Each structure stands twice: as C-alpha cells, then as structure tokens.
Amino acid sequence: MSTLFSQPESSLNTFAPRLLDWFEINGRHDLPWQQHQTDTPNPYVVWLSEVMLQQTQVTTVLPYFARFMDTFPTVQDLAAAEWDTVAEHWAGLGYYARARNLHKGAKQLVEIIDKTGDFPQTLAGWESISGVGPSTAGAIMAMGLHRYGVICDGNVKRVLTRWAAIDGDITKSATTKELWALAKRLTPRESSGLFAQAMMDMGATLCTRSKPACLLCPLQDDCLAHAEGRETEYPVKAKKPPKPSKFSHALLIQNTEDELLWLQRPDNGIWGGLWSLPLQFVERVDGKTGKGQNSTKDKSLNVRSNEKVYETEFTTAEQIINEWLEENKIIAESMNNTLLDDAPIKHTLTHFHWYLTPYKLSISTTQITELNDKLGAAEIEFRWLTTQQAEDSLGLPRAMGKIIEG
C-alpha cells in the first residue's frame, strides 16, 4: 500500500493506461479547441477555451468559442480589439471577470511574444497571465504545448475523490493539496495532454455529479466509492448557507426619440465593463392591508443607508440618477403588476439572488439635457440607444436582454 495514497501501487500504475484506452475509443475528439491530433499545437485556442470553460459547460461554450475565433483568430487580434467588442462577444456567457482577464491576458501575451518570439513555455510563465491559475496553466502546457502539465479542476477532483475515497472537504487547503499530489502521481510524463483531456471527458460524460455511469467506467474495478455504493457522496463539500436575495428596479429611462439610457458598469463590480440599464435598489417593506392581510411593498433604498449591503453594486452613476429623480419628483411606472417575488428576471450570482423588475419613465428634452450634464460632469460612460441599437452594439448581460425583449 502506498504511504501517500489510499490506492495500492498496482492501481496507481494502471490508472492512466486504462483511462487513455477508454478515451481513445469513447472520448470526445471533435471539439474545436482540441490539439491532440496536430503536431503543431496552438496554445492560444487552448487558453481561450480553458477560460471559457471555467464553471461553464461545453455545449454553452461552443457557439461563443466559434464567434471569438471568427473575430479574433489570433491573440494579437484579441489584444488589439476594443473592450466593447470583446464584451459584446462575451455577453451572456456569465462570470464576466473572465472576459476582463482574457482581454488583459491577451495584451500580456502579445508583450511576451514581442519580446521572446513565442508564447510562454513554462508553467510559471502561464500562471503570470491574468486569470490563469495552476490548473488552467497545466492544461495549456499539456494540451497547448504538448509538454508535461497537470490539471486538477472540478471534473478531475470529482473523479479522484470518488476513485480514492478522499473524504476531506474539497474547499479546504489540506484536501486541495492531497488532490494535487494524487493528480501529479497519476499523470504520465508522456501524453499528459491526452490524459488531461481524458480526465475532463471522464468527469463530464461518465463520472457526473448526480448520475455517474459507473458500469461504463474503466476505473470501476478499483473505485473505492463505487465499491461502497457511495459515489454521489463525493466530493465532500461543506454546505453553504442559503443565498440572500436583493431587489432592484431596472429603469427604462426613455427620451423623445424612443431611446433608452444605458450605463457602462465599473470594471470591478457585477457585470464589470458591460452595459446596463440604470438600477434602483429597493428594500422590501412588510405591511398590512385590509383586515390583517399581509402584503409586501418596496421602497427606494438610499445606498448611504445601507452601504455594507449595496455599495459594490450601486454605482456612482445610479446614485446620481436616483438623486436627480428624487429632486425632480419623477416617479417611474412599473411595467408589470406582479409582486416583487414574481419579478420577471431572476439573476443568480455567486453570493446572492438578484430580482430585477422593469420600471419605465419618459423625460423631456430639457430633462435629458440636465441629466446628460450631471452624468457628463461625473465622467460617466453613458449612451442613449434604441433597444435594437443596444443589442447590436453593446455588451449586455443576459438579464438586460431579457428585460428589453420582454
């Protein structure tokens, strides 16, 4: 028995051959970013796909990857592009910090290529690129450069915790260290790119989160979780507390040309760098109507009264707009008659659920000039565009698309 791992040496030594034999026959070999069938691998497409695939399924990524490659066929094209163009191509894919890091990373890579004549050739070199962590760097080394590289992403962690019955919390550093050690032990020095793709396929197609296809698995004979009938109990992860909910009015502020006001959101917040309708945060107020019947109302929330909750979401532009609306006693009109709980748009983020209800208001030419002056004085990026113009030219979060299409 190994002193480091729960599996015997015989199992550790045969893990990779069994997996690679399975991958050759049953694995996916037609994904557009795969480089194992070429003698001259392109690390750019592997890097691009790995960033897109973080917390996102292959079927979702495929059309986005195709659009990116059509518009930005080389890393130089991506680096030279305007941010708004990149954002428009990414809009709807979610986790928008990835797009910011991708654009920044492209510029970093071009600087390296200009100095050295090539992409980074070491693990440390790739880890120095924005948004590239150890697993992504290992994937690029293995698949994008055909060199030795180790991956340990979510799919790999699920396979390994089940196969070796690793019952430590995968959010803890000690478990992470154990999983990386096992991944390095199992990854062959030769064909680590094929092995990386096989591990990804294993987690994505057989060793799935809820219904693993154990009877088809090449590792079932010595999978410890399978032997105990406890496959779905791995990986172990501490339960998170229920997500809180936040509520906003999405303001459709319309001018005399039927154009709407759009704001570019700050780089470091939610939907960073994308364009959004102005948002008006609200808080729920429980009240009573009739004979003891409970009702739910809402009122505008002044960010200064609840800064810890909303300061990162309620932008300077939105505070200016809300103060201006209050000063001019302009009231937006709801576009639906449902309770806030039944708002048409529910947007779930990492730390909370966000409910967005559309509110519409029209303003005069004089008011438009006044509002423009206020936003301009604060150096706010804003545009007046029709819904079609916004969809065609701006990077919009999916939630905004749903609001204007609804």
Residue with tokens 């994937």: 139
Cα–Cα distance between 246 and 349 in angstroms, integer? 11
Cα–Cα distance between 5 and 387 in angstroms, integer? 58
Answer for the pair 185, 9: CB distance below 8 angstroms, yes or no: no
Per DSSP, the three-state class of 227 is helix
Helix ranges (DSSP H) in 250-364: 307-310, 316-327
Per the DSSP assignment, residues forming a β-bridge with 353 are: 245, 348
HSE (side-chain half, CA atoms, 13 Å) at 39: 0
Cα–Cα distance between 385 and 391 in angstroms, integer? 9
Taking CA atoms, 182 is separated from 7, 23, 255, 323, in Å, by 10, 20, 61, 57
Active site residue 50: yes
Beta strand 382-385 with 293-300: parallel, antiparallel or unpaired?
A: unpaired
User: What values do phi and psi take at 282, rounded to 5?
Assistant: -130, 160
Catalytic residue (choose from 50, 231, 313, 318): 50
Cα–Cα distance between 160 and 162 in angstroms, integer? 5
Cα–Cα distance between 112 and 175 in angstroms, integer? 35
Cα–Cα distance between 318 and 281 in angstroms, integer? 9
Cα–Cα distance between 187 and 195 in angstroms, integer? 7
Q: How many beta carbons lie within 10 A of that of residue 256, not counting itself?
A: 11
Annotated active-site positions, please? 50
